[in-house]
């Protein structure tokens, strides 16, 4: 290549480096807490500019030296941490964390070219599988130290081009007819993406009955899980238990789905769910620990390991129990519908856990704790129905008539996952409360209205962002009885449903969920 052309290209790269340096200096001087969106824009620009510089340097290398493109890209793939693994019929591709697709530009080439090279090199050295009908599981792993707003929606990621590249080597086609794709989010030690590809046959089976379609683990999948991590999966995949021998009745299938949704919410919030990562508090011999330093979820079946005394809670709709430094929570999941409560069974479940957990097994930590409730739903409509039906024959006495001091409502989505994580952290909840107190006066302990602060006019203010059903009901009822007005502080996505219920008596102040 002509020396003048090389010099011109180097000058372009130096100019880009200067702009990148400016980007990084601006990032370093920005107040991230006050301007998280600006920081996100700046950091994305800097990352993409750096990737563009890498692409420029690559092109210059190919044009001005004898280094082959294929040879270099394989080395680049190793630097990126791209790995290909194939074991027990499952192909795993490990990649850096994917960027937003709307901001791809040259970043797609930055990652795609090394991916092609690593896949090609692996195919030369190892026999590659070829999947016709397959399942693709994409696990987006985020550094656990990152704030929640860094977690991206699945439809805003550049995964389509990644799957197209992988499909060239191992799939007949990645269309929806032959390939089922699933996304999941995990917290880990570093950002990365794991893509797993496996045959449907023998690993996942489609089950369709009574107009309900679902997926079940095949025998080969169960065997692989039990061989790799018996301490984690034997409880669920051995013996005559419902998770191993799934019944075909619709209520049982829906029940298992609700429990699975609860597991996902807990795991997304960083709560321990597997038996090998938490103490067996409900073992027949008693809890092996006196306190829990981090939150853990126990399914209703794990609770029933205590033995004969759990016969008292037969008929309860609970999916399990969440034990955290912040409290003890019986969890339920209604999906898109209102749960039909067995009033006496739920009271017995509450009393049993109050006695067993708070007064016996974890008394050193929760002796003065009252058991709270946690209700998951697919959206906020069931939350509204609880209040809207309060003056009808279908009134939900169990939630509104004083059985629980606190009963929180969370949605089965990223909003709910984030609030669940906050609920489990007394420190972060206290910090948010301190921030919200700015501009308000401390609460008046003599005021006969549930509240957290007073505004400048002496009116009560309630922090309602956890959607605590009894607490919001007590606040609204007291305002009505005393013919007063108050303010309810909530997240922006919660305002509409709260306004439908108590907009006549209550004003609203909202917290931006994206800028939290």
CATH code for position 500: 3.40.1350
Which of 235, 252, 269 is the endpoint of a domain? 252
d(CA 105, CA 158): 11
Confidence band for 101, pLDDT divided at 50, 70 and 90 = low
Tokens of 6: 């090389």
Identify whether residues 19 and 160 lie together within a single domain: no
* Confidence (pTM): 0.76
DSSP conformation letters of 156-210? GBTHHHHHHHHHHHHBS--STTTEEEEEEEEEESS-EEEEEEEESTTTEEEEEET
Same structural domain, 138 and 49: no
For the record, the structure tokens of 395 come out as: 């009134």
- Determine the average pLDDT of the residues in 155-164: 75
Give 104's pLDDT tier (boundaries 50, 70, 90): very low
Distance of alpha carbon 103 from the chain centroid? 24
CB 335 within 8 A of CB 378: yes
Beta strand spans in 416-463 (E): 441-442, 453-454, 460-463
Task: Give yes or no for residue 321 having a pLDDT over 60.
Answer: yes
CA dihedral 128, 130, 136, 138 (to 10 degrees): 20
- Give the pair of three-digit tokens for residue 453: 């602060």
Residue 68 has a CB neighbour count (10 Å cut-off) of 10
The residues pairing with 204 across neighbouring beta strands, listed in sequence order, are: 217
pLDDT in the model for residue 231: 93
What's the pLDDT tens digit per position in 180-190? 888 888 877 88
Segment among 78-92, 151-165, 300-314, 378-392 with least mean pLDDT: 151-165
| Residue 299, Cβ density class (10 Å: 0-12 exposed, 13-18 middle, ≥19 buried) | buried
Q: What are phi and psi of 281, to 5 degrees?
A: -60, -30
For residues 434 and 411, membership in a common domain is answered with no
| 187 and 272 belong to one structural domain | no
**Looking at residues 58-63, what average pLDDT do you find?**
84
Beta bridge partners of 87: 90
Q: Is the dihedral of CA 357, 360, 364, 369 positive or negative?
A: positive
Measured between its terminal Cα atoms, the distance across the chain in Å is 52
Distance separating alpha carbons of residues 222 and 243, to the nearest angstrom: 11
Return d(Cα 93, Cα 123) in angstroms, integer.
13
Is 206 found in the same domain as 132?
A: yes
- Distance in angstroms (rounded) separating the CA atoms of residues 488 and 502: 10
Same domain, 211 and 287: no
Whole-number percent of the chain with pLDDT over 70: 93
Per-residue pLDDT reduced to its tens digit, 386-427: 988 866 665 676 788 788 999 999 999 989 999 999 999 999
Which helix (H) or strand (E) segment is 43 a member of?
A: helix 36-64
Confidence grade of residue 87 (pLDDT, cut at 50, 70, 90): confident
For residue 501, give every residue at least 6 positions away whose Cβ sits within 8 Å of its Cβ, in sequence order, or none.
Answer: 384, 387, 388, 476
Six-digit token string for 8? 């011109």
The token duo for 215 is 């997926």
pLDDT per position as a tens digit, 416-436 = 999 999 999 999 999 999 999
Residues 398 and 484 in one domain: no
Which residue range forms the structural domain that includes residue 24?
Answer: 3-67
DSSP state of 467: -
Question: Where does residue 185 fall: left (phi above 0), alpha (psi -120 to 50 degrees), or beta otherwise?
Answer: beta
Rounded to 5 degrees, φ, ψ at 410 are: -130, 150
Same domain assignment for residues 430 and 414: no
Residue in the structure block whose two tokens are 């590809």: 197
Integer Cα distance of 125 and 237 in angstroms = 36
Residue 374, pLDDT > 60, answer: yes
| Whole-number pLDDT of residue 105 | 47
With a cut of 50, say whether residue 255 has pLDDT above it: yes
Residue 106, pLDDT > 60, answer no
Residue 217: CATH number of its domain: 3.30.1330.70
Of 60, 282, 278, 88, the closest CA to residue 196 belongs to 88
What total number of domains does the chain contain? Answer: 4
**Are 164 and 223 in a shared domain?**
yes
Contact by Cβ (8 Å): 325, 292: yes
Whether the predicted pLDDT of 77 surpasses 80: yes
236 and 91 share one domain: yes
Angle at 40 between CA 39 and CA 46, to 5 degrees: 85
> CB neighbours of 135 closer than 8 A, spacing ≥ 6?
179, 180, 181, 182, 197, 198, 199, 200, 203, 204
How far apart are the C-alpha atoms of 324 and 2, rounded to whole Å? 67
Q: Looking up tokens 């069974």, which residue turns up?
A: 345
Cβ–Cβ < 8 Å for 274, 236: no
Answer yes or no: do 85 and 231 share one domain.
yes
pLDDT exceeds cutoff 80 at 109: no
Q: Tell me the sheet residues that pair with 468.
A: 408
Q: Which H/E stretch holds residue 372?
A: strand 372-377
Name the more confident of 469 and 153: 469
The region that residue 381 occupies, defined by phi over 0 for left and psi between -120 and 50 for alpha, beta otherwise, is: alpha
Query: Rounded mean pLDDT of 5-15?
Result: 89
CA-CA distances (angstroms) from residue 11 to 14, 57, 105? 5, 12, 21
The pLDDT, as a whole number, for residue 243 is 84
Asked whether residue 285 falls in the same domain as residue 401, the answer is yes
Mean pLDDT over 87-101 rounds to: 81
């Amino acid at each position: 290549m002509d020396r003048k052309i090389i010099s011109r290209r180097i000058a372009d790269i130096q100019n880009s480096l200067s702009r990148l340096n400016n980007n990084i200096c601006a990032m370093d001087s920005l107040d991230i807490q006050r301007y998280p969106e600006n920081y996100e824009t700046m950091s994305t620009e800097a990352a993409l500019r750096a990737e563009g510089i890498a692409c420029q340097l690559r092109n210059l290398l190919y044009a001005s030296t004898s280094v082959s493109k294929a040879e270099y890209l394989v080395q680049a793939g190793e630097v990126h941490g791209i790995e290909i693994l194939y074991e027990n019929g499952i192909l795993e591709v490990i990649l850096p964390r994917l960027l937003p697709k709307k901001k791809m530009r040259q970043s797609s080439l930055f990652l795609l070219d090394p991916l092609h090279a690593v896949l090609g090199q692996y195919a030369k050295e190892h026999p590659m599988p070829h999947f016709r009908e397959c399942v693709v599981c994409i696990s987006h792993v985020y550094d656990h130290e990152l704030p929640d707003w860094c977690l991206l929606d699945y439809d805003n990621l550049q995964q389509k081009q990644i799957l197209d590249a992988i499909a060239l080597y191992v799939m007949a086609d990645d269309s929806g007819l032959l390939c089922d794709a699933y996304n999941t989010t995990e917290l880990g030690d570093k950002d990365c993406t794991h893509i797993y590809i496996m045959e449907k046959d023998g690993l996942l089976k489609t089950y369709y009955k009574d107009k309900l379609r679902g997926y079940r683990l095949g025998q080969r999948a169960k065997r692989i899980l039990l061989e790799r991590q018996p301490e984690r999966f034997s409880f669920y995949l051995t013996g005559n238990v419902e998770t191993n021998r799934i019944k075909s009745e619709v209520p049982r299938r829906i029940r298992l789905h609700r429990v699975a949704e609860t597991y996902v919410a807990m795991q997304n919030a960083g709560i321990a769910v597997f038996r090998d990562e938490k103490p067996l508090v409900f073992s027949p011999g008693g809890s092996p620990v006196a306190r829990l330093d981090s939150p853990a979820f126990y399914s209703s079946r794990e609770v029933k390991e205590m033995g004969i005394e759990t016969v008292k809670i037969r008929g309860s709709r609970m999916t399990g129990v969440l034990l955290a430094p912040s409290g003890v929570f019986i969890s339920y999941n209604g999906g898109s519908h209102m749960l039909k409560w067995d009033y006496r069974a739920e009271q017995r479940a509450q009393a049993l856990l109050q006695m067993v957990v708070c007064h016996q097994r974890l008394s050193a930590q929760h002796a003065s704790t009252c058991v709270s409730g946690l209700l998951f739903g697919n959206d906020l409509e069931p939350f509204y129905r609880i209040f809207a039906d309060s003056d009808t024959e279908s009134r939900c006495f169990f939630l509104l008539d004083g059985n629980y001091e606190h009963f929180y409502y969370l949605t089965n989505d990223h909003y709910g996952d984030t609030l669940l994580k906050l609920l489990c952290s007394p420190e972060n909840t206290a910090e948010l409360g301190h921030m919200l107190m700015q501009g308000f006066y401390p609460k008046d302990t003599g005021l006969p209205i549930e509240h957290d602060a007073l505004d400048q006019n002496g009116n009560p203010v309630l922090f309602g962002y956890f959607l605590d059903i009894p607490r919001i009901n007590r606040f609204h009822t007291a305002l009505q009885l005393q013919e007063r007005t108050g303010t309810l502080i909530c997240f922006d996505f919660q305002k509409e449903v709260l306004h439908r219920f108590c907009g006549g008596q209550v004003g609203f102040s909202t917290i931006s969920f994206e800028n939290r």
